[in-house]
Structure 1
Amino acid sequence: MTSIAVQSTEFQNDNRQWLLSPHGTDPGTTPSITLDVSTFTQATHYPNGFIVSGIVIAQITATKKYGPADSTATDGRQTLTPSTVGILFAGRKIPNLLDLTKDVGSALLVHGFVDPAKLPIANAAAGGGFLTTAARDALRLIHFAS
């Protein structure tokens, strides 16, 4: 039998003020990735249950999943190369706040035009995810305008 029970779904619109143009966001230009939810910090990256777009993320060597770029990490996210770093293009809801082992898919911005002052994570935030000099150097196909 088909259920007609009332259901609710939470969602959040991405705030992409940091993106200066649609260049680099066409279909097929933002690679699909898997986010390792356990690498994100609730207070910094998802205070309301949604990982926000605009976080600088890097690949975890062993799993090829992504988490916030972090110079203090020891899983690969500390080593930023053009093939392992990008900016989270599409924010995502944490599937289960009580079980951070459930990963979620998203998209990665690898080239385009970005206003670094409007990225959501401030420099020196706990848990990483902000734009560092190393990230700027590795993100060669992103033009950072001031």
Structure 2
Amino acid sequence: MPRLTTESFGSGNMSWVGSEHAINNARTEQLDVGAFTAGTHYPDGYIRSGTAVAKVAGLLVPYDSNEATVTGAGILAGFVLTDQKVVGTTDFPVPLYDHGRVKTANLPIAFTKPAAAAKLSATTIVFV
């Protein structure tokens, strides 16, 4: 008899996605687990689908929505497409949604579209 295991997955609420096209064209990027805080970003062990991220030194980090931010963390790279289980502290690949439509009211963490065009320069997202 084979040894079977059971694994739970996150809820996977993707109601924030407003465009089917971009789901098929999400690109893979490496997520910097150390930049995320367990209690804030993944309290149940999963980084939620729709989490806004920036790309710093080749790795995805939490997006800093403060308009005064002048570091790379203040430039939106996109959103984590699907729930991602965090196991340990090793960085891992995730699908990045960086173009298409995003329903901001349905994102898991409150999000306001950046006012400065430079903060959106890494994406082609229409916010609805």
TM-score, normalising length: structure 2: 0.81
TM-aligned CA deviation for residue 7 of structure 1: 2.0
Q: How far apart, CA to CA, are the structure 1 residues paired with 2:31 and 2:81?
A: 12
Question: Hey, what's the Cα distance between the residues in 2 that align with 1:135 and 1:57?
Answer: 16
Q: Flag the 1:44–1:115 CA change in 2: closer, same or farther, 3 A.
A: same
Change (3 A) 1:74 1:20: closer
Q: Return structure 1 stretches of 4+ with deviation > 3 angstroms.
A: 71-75, 134-137
The within-5 A match list for 1:47-126 is 47-61=43-57, 64-70=58-64, 71=66, 76-78=72-74, 80=75, 85-96=77-88, 100=89, 102-122=90-110
Determine the structure 2 residue equivalent to 1:11.
9
SS in structure 2 opposite 1:106? strand
Distance 1:110 1:87 in 2: 7
- 1:55 Cα deviation from its structure 2 partner: 1.0
| 1:43 partner amino acid | G
Q: Secondary structure at the match of 2:94?
A: strand
Match of residue 23 from structure 1? 21
Cα 1:39–1:134, aligned 2, differ >3 Å: closer, same or farther?
A: farther
Q: Deviations over 1:77-131 (max 9, x none)?
A: 13x16xxx111112210012xxx2x112111111111111111112xxxxxxx44
Change (3 A) 1:88 1:131: farther
Question: Quick one: structure 1 residues 4 and 119, their matched pair in 2 at CA, closer, same or farther if it must change by over 3 Å?
Answer: same
Return the offset for 1:50: 0.5
Which residue number corresponds to residue 125 of structure 2?
142
Judged with a 3 Å threshold, the aligned counterparts in structure 2 of structure 1 residues 5 and 58 are, in CA distance, closer, same or farther, namely: same
Q: Specify which structure has the higher proportion of helix.
A: 2
- Report if aligned partners of 1:56, 1:131 keep a CA contact under 8 Å in 2: no
8 Å CA contact 2:14–2:82 kept in 1: the answer is no
Q: How does 1:32-51 map to 2 (within 5 A)?
A: 32-51=28-47
Q: What CA distance in whole angstroms lies between the structure 1 residues aligned with 2:116 and 2:94? A: 20
Number of corresponding residues = 124
Identity %: 31
- Aligned residue identity for 1:37: V
